[in-house]
């Protein structure tokens, strides 16, 4: 039993209840509770303290006798009667989660403190500590077939009732990690959502009103934003240009927004631009977002991705073409340059395949329309696990939109055997480059010239790359923009031949798909691109990120619905999310940092019935917050739901961004004052002549001195203490002779 008593504090609270520290409630307060609506499961990130309104809970009236601790509040408004239940699952082993449920149908949040009868369910301890899963359930059982002691039975509820759930993080551990609340077992339904519904279209005349001659805007994000809190809620337009945005019944003024990424259009008119919600359910219908052309042109954006590639197996790949111009594209030919060991077997459009070249015929693509070309491939047994297979896609439709310039489009080939790097300009404009190559442990200036003009289709060969580093991260600077390439070059594992690469560029095409041939793998996972440097996944600050979530039906029957829910890390800018490629049709919902991809009627076969078709995936792109600190990490985990089954939790993908990161520094010549190899198993070497060889200190990321390198004159090497743990460190000399350098210790 958990019991904490601070007598002085409790006696004081009997006479004086502190109402609030501030006026604005957060979701750590009863008044700021998150309304659960229109979803079976959601996730939130643990936060410290109690929010702005403290002492909402009277410890004498609740089983939570240590009070409100690191709390989170959820509101349930019952639409149809039935059983109310939920499962609360933390994803951190040291957490202990408790809860209390209050019926506030005829009461207010302020009544909880003085009325013990409002608490209708409560759980504060179980057979295990910390508690893993808790909640209200009639089916949640342990391995012996018994209901968990920390789980209480579900309760009967009726339409119109309102309940508030207080979730406590008793131990206070694992702040910023996710906790999921699953109400899928409930037989009641929930209210508490408002809706904005409408249509987005490209106007064919100057009316700014929809008629049948207008072009429908497909697969674009539409959002509403609470003007007071900046909370964002988003949806995606469908094939008919229709959108539906779900947001909670929270009082406030909401602004409808359409992000115009492409300057081929401007906004002609948005009806219902400002929507006032008084805290009750509100449906705003027939909203129109009208765009008008700023130039007459065509531009086809290519999004190319594939499921998992394995040798001796078949696989699906998908190429989506989006016409982001304002004129129809006619007689489109999509061309894919195939690897010799992969052969296309079928395509959902007319095609020919001659000498590794696949050509797909698409009659017409209207403005802001898209088509998804589905290709069924077979992969030869001659390829081996670990090989990288790349296939590039192009079209015969030139970009005639002057406002969309794909000038920043590059391909990299790295020759580890001969220390050469070759850069191709695959864009449609000349490049003016300051070209640098970031290698692990420092910065190497590959070419001293700051202006390397590279015409369309031309290449640049850089030789004599620094041979002391074994892992390279390709970074390209074009004017003031830095681009980090999809993958790294590791000359220990990428032995021989050329390593092909491509860049992640904002709002541009992604025609090149490179996949690693795999054997054994987790079919439900989350990947991040570009690949971070080394096993620590180091990334440039402010670099845009592509996430790919893969899933597979490994059950024994068809999955009718797949839902992917993702709670975005607070170091990501929720307002910059963009949708990429997907294996199946889906709808998109966003509630701040909580995003959901819903594959309705996906009819995903199980892996024993049709293994190649049992896979699926979704891509999306997002930027980092511009206000992030110098040193931080970005953690992201997805939850995948197949029909009514419990969530499959993916791996947690981690990026690390450090002050001494992998960004580019302008240097006049290649540096000579560096240590290698990096990562190190505990021994470093240096090419420079250090006078104070025994005066080099080791500093951790908190700025504390934790070690000093010991110099061995026999081997001319520098050694870490055996007691020092693996991790990131900074080394520098006491005298300043050796400038700061980031080191990774990995024994």
Q: Mean of the pLDDT values across residues 501-520?
A: 65
Distance CA 589, CA 243 (A): 10
Q: How far is 138 from 185, CA to CA, in rounded Å?
A: 9
Quote the CA–CA distance of 274 and 282 in Å, as a whole number: 13
**Residue 482: predicted pLDDT:** 55
pLDDT band at 1; cut points 50, 70, 90 = very low
Find, among 550, 527, 523, the residue nearest to 618 by Cα: 550
pLDDT tier at 550, thresholds 50, 70, 90: very high
Bigger pLDDT: 193 vs 427: 193
Which residue has 């699953």 as its token pair? 182
SS3 state at 712? strand
Mean pLDDT comparison of 49-58, 153-162, 714-723, highest-scoring range: 153-162
Residue 14 has pLDDT above 60, yes or no: no
The structure tokens listed for 615 are 């896979």
> Which is more confident, 244 or 95?
244
pLDDT above 50 for 716:
yes
Take residue 332 and report the two structure tokens written for it. Answer: 């489109």
At 115 the pLDDT is: 93
Q: What is the pLDDT of residue 139?
A: 65
What mean pLDDT comes out for the span 688-698?
79
Answer whether residue 103 shows pLDDT above 90: yes
- Which of 52-61, 363-372, 475-484, 652-661 has the largest mean confidence? 363-372
Higher-confidence residue of 383 and 333: namely 333
- How many angstroms separate the CA atoms of 445 and 115, rounded? 70
Q: Averaging pLDDT over each range in 42-46, 63-67, 132-136, 178-182, which range is the top one?
A: 63-67
CA separation (Å) from 557 to 563, 647, 699?
A: 17, 17, 55
Cα 647 to chain center, whole Å?
A: 18
In terms of phi and psi (left: phi > 0; alpha: psi -120 to 50; beta: otherwise), the region of 204 is alpha
pLDDT in tens, 214-250: 999 999 999 998 888 788 888 899 999 999 888 877 7
**Rounded alpha-carbon distances, angstroms, from residue 35 to 157, 398, 591:** 17, 48, 11
The phi and psi torsions of 42 (rounded to 5 degrees) equal: -140, 160
More confident residue, 690 or 687: 690
**Mean of pLDDT over the chain:** 78
Confidence of residue 368 (pLDDT cuts 50, 70, 90): very high
Higher pLDDT, 744 or 696: 696
Q: What distance in Å separates the CA atoms of residue 562 and residue 559, rounded to the nearest whole number?
A: 7
DSSP calls for 479-541: TTEEEEBSS-EETTTS-SSEEEEEB--TTS-B-EEEEE--SS--SSEEEEESPPBTTTTB--T
In sequence order, what E strands does 367-524 have? 370-379, 388-395, 410-415, 420-425, 431-439, 442-444, 452-454, 459-462, 471-478, 481-484, 489-490, 498-502, 512-516
**b/e map 59-90, b = 16+ CB within 10 Å:** bebbebbbbbbbbbbbbbbbbeebbbbbbbbb
Question: Nearest 5°: phi and psi at 181?
Answer: -120, 115
Least trusted range by pLDDT, from 303-312, 406-415, 676-685? 406-415
Going along the chain from its start, the domains and CATH numbers come out as 7-191 (2.60.120.380), 193-293 (2.60.40.10), 305-401 (2.60.40.290), 675-745 (2.60.40.10)
pLDDT at residue number 502: 53
Nearest by Cα to 77 from 183, 155, 137, 164: 164
Whether residue 631 has pLDDT greater than 60: yes
Cα-based distances in Å from 226 to 4, 27, 277, 731: 40, 15, 10, 47
Per-residue pLDDT averaged across 689-703, rounded? Answer: 76
Average pLDDT over residues 8-19: 36
For 627, residues 6+ apart whose C-beta sits below 8 A from its C-beta are none
Residue 2's nearest CA partner among 161, 146, 119, 168 is 168
Taking Cα atoms as reference points, which of 121, 145, 147 lies closest to residue 133?
A: 147
Give pLDDT tens digits for 425-434.
665 556 655 5
Question: What is the average pLDDT across 463-486?
Answer: 57
Is the separation of the CB atoms in 478 and 466 below 8 Å?
no
Q: Which is it for strands 151-152 and 134-136: parallel, antiparallel or unpaired?
A: parallel
Confidence of residue 58 (pLDDT cuts 50, 70, 90): confident
Pick the range with the lowest mean pLDDT from 4-18, 298-312, 700-714: 4-18
Q: How confident is the model at residue 469 (pLDDT cuts 50, 70, 90)?
A: low
- What does the pLDDT read at residue 660? 41
Say yes or no to pLDDT of 567 above 90: no
Label residue 701 exposed, middle or buried (CB < 10 Å: 0-12, 13-18, 19+).
middle
The highest-confidence range among 292-306, 410-424, 490-504, 620-634, by mean pLDDT, is 292-306
- The answer on pLDDT for 15 being more than 50 is no
CB 84 within 8 A of CB 179: no
User: Cα angle vertex 406, ends 344, 532, to 5°?
Assistant: 75
Q: Which residue has the higher pLDDT, 404 or 210?
A: 210
**pTM for this entry:** 0.68
Contacts of 102 (CB under 8 A, 6+ apart): 112, 118, 119, 120, 163, 164, 165, 166
Cα dihedral 486, 545, 510, 589 in deg (nearest 10): 150
CB 511 within 8 A of CB 500: no
**pLDDT digit string, tens, across residues 124-179:** 864 455 556 788 887 654 434 444 556 788 899 998 999 999 998 887 777 766 67
Beta carbons within 10 angstroms of residue 665's beta carbon: 10
Tell me the percentage of the chain whose pLDDT exceeds 90.
Answer: 25
The pLDDT assigned to 520 comes to 67
How does residue 551 score in pLDDT terms, banded at 50, 70 and 90? Answer: very high
CA-nearest of 248, 120, 137 to 191 is 248
């Amino acid at each position: 039993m958990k019991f904490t008593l601070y007598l002085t504090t409790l006696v004081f609270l009997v006479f004086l209840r502190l109402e609030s520290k501030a006026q604005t409630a957060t979701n750590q307060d009863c008044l700021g509770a998150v309304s659960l609506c229109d979803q079976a499961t959601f996730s939130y990130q643990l936060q410290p303290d109690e929010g702005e309104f403290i002492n909402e809970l009277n410890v004498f009236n609740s089983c939570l006798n240590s009070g409100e601790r690191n709390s989170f509040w959820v509101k349930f408004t019952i639409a149809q009667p039935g059983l109310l239940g939920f499962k609360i699952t933390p994803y951190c082993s040291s957490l202990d989660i408790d809860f209390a449920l209050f019926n506030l149908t005829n009461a207010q949040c302020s009544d909880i403190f003085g009325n013990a009868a409002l608490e209708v369910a409560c759980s504060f301890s179980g057979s295990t500590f910390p508690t893993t899963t808790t909640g209200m359930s009639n089916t949640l059982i342990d391995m012996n077939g018994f209901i968990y002691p920390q789980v209480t039975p579900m309760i009967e509820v009726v339409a119109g009732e309102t309940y508030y759930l207080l979730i406590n993080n008793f131990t206070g551990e694992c702040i910023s990690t996710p906790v999921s609340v699953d109400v899928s077992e409930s037989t009641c339904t929930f209210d508490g959502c408002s809706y904005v519904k409408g249509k987005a279209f490209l106007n064919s005349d100057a009316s700014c009103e929809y008629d049948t001659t207008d072009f429908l805007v497909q697969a674009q994000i539409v959002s509403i934003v609470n003007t007071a809190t900046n909370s964002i809620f988003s949806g995606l337009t469908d094939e008919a240009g229709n959108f539906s945005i779900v947001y909670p019944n929270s009082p406030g003024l909401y602004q409808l927004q359409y992000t115009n990424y492409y300057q081929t259009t401007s906004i002609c008119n948005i009806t219902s631009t400002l929507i006032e919600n008084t805290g009750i359910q509100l449906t705003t219908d027939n909203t129109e977002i009208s765009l008008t052309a700023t130039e007459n042109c065509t531009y086809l954006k290519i999004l190319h991705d594939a499921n998992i590639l394995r040798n001796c197996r078949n696989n699906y790949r998908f190429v989506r073409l989006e016409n982001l111009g304002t004129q129809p594209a006619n007689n489109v030919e999509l061309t894919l340059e195939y690897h010799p060991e992969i052969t296309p077997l079928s395509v959902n459009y007319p095609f020919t395949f001659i000498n590794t070249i696949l050509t797909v015929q698409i009659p017409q693509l209207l403005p802001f329309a898209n088509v998804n070309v589905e290709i069924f491939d077979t992969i030869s047994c001659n390829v081996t696990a670990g090989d990288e297979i790349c296939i590039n896609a192009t079209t015969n439709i030139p970009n005639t939109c002057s406002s969309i310039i794909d000038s920043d489009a590059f391909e990299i080939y790295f020759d580890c055997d001969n220390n050469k790097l070759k850069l191709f300009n695959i864009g449609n404009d000349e490049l003016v480059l300051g070209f640098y190559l970031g290698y692990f442990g420092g910065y190497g200036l590959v070419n001293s010239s700051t202006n390397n003009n590279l015409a369309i289709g031309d290449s640049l060969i850089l030789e004599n790359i620094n041979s002391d580093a074994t892992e390279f991260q390709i970074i390209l600077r074009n004017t003031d923009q830095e681009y980090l390439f999809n993958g790294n070059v590791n000359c220990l594992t990428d032995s021989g031949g050329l390593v092909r690469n491509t860049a992640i560029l904002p709002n541009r095409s992604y025609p090149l798909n490179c996949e690693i041939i795999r054997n054994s793998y987790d079919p439900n996972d989350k990947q991040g691109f570009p690949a971070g440097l080394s096993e620590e996944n180091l990334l440039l600050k402010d670099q845009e990120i592509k996430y790919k979530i893969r899933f597979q039906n490994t059950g024994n029957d068809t999955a009718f619905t797949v839902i992917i829910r993702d709670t975005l890390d607070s170091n990501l800018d929720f307002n910059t999310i963009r949708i990429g490629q997907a294996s199946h049709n889906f709808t998109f919902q966003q509630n701040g940092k909580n995003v959901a991809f819903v594959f309705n009627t996906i009819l995903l076969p199980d892996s024993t019935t049709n293994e190649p078709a049992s896979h699926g995936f979704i891509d999306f792109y997002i930027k980092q917050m511009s206000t992030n600190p110098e040193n931080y990490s970005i953690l992201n985990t997805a939850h995948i739901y197949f029909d009514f089954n419990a969530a499959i939790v993916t791996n947690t993908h981690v990026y690390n961004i450090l002050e001494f990161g992998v960004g580019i520094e302008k240097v006049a010549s290649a540096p000579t004052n560096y240590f290698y190899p990096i990562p190190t198993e505990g021994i470093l070497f240096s090419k420079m002549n250090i006078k104070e060889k025994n005066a080099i200190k080791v500093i951790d990321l908190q700025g504390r001195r934790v070690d000093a390198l010991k110099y061995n004159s026999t081997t001319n090497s520098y050694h870490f203490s055996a007691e020092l743990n693996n991790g990131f460190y900074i080394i520098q000399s006491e005298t300043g002779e050796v400038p700061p350098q980031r080191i990774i210790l990995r024994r």
